């Protein structure tokens, strides 16, 4: 079996393992903040650099027009957006893609701590971005 090698796959694999570990310990039904705190603890235990609620500015041309706060940023290379919803919706994925557009980060993970744990990985290469650095 050939294993495909994605950008930051070693980090995203650790994030996925951590996601299932936290889900198995906590189960379904908590608010996103509870899962965020659990993920933070476990990712740091693995020796990863983790920032939660990291401020990211959004620009329109040279004008700052807003900001958002990424749930988790791991090793300055992966944005992790957490949900505790019944299902992942297209809007959740669009939100993650927009977060990637607003940064120099190219890899994002969408993790849903719903009734059934689910995740999605998205990559937005720099050549597809049109933004100003924050």
Domains (range + CATH), the chain: 9-128 (3.90.320.10)
Q: CA-to-CA distance for 92 and 80, rounded, in angstroms?
A: 12
Could you tell me the pTM of the whole model?
0.87
Count of beta carbons in the 10 Å neighbourhood of residue 13: 11
Q: Are 78 and 109 in contact (CB under 8 A)?
A: yes
Written as six digits, the tokens of 87 are 């299902």
Tens of pLDDT, residue by residue over 113-126, are 999 999 999 988 76
Tens of pLDDT, residue by residue over 4-51, are 557 889 999 999 999 999 999 999 999 999 999 999 999 999 999 999
* Four-residue CA torsion sign, 41, 42, 43, 48: positive
What stretch of H or E contains 98?
helix 90-101
């Amino acid at each position: 079996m050939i294993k495909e090698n994605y950008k930051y796959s070693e980090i995203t694999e650790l994030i996925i393992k951590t996601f299932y570990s936290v889900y198995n310990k906590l189960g379904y039904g908590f608010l996103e903040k509870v899962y965020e705190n659990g993920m933070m603890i476990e990712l740091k235990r693995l020796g990863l650099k983790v920032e939660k609620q990291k401020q990211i500015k959004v620009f329109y041309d040279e004008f700052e027009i807003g900001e958002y706060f990424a749930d988790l940023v791991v090793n300055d290379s992966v944005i992790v957006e957490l949900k505790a919803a019944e299902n992942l919706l297209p809007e959740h994925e669009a939100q993650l893609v927009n977060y990637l557009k607003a940064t120099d980060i190219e890899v994002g993970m969408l993790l849903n701590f719903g009734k059934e744990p689910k995740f999605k990985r998205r990559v937005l290469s720099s050549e597809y971005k049109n933004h100003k650095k924050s």
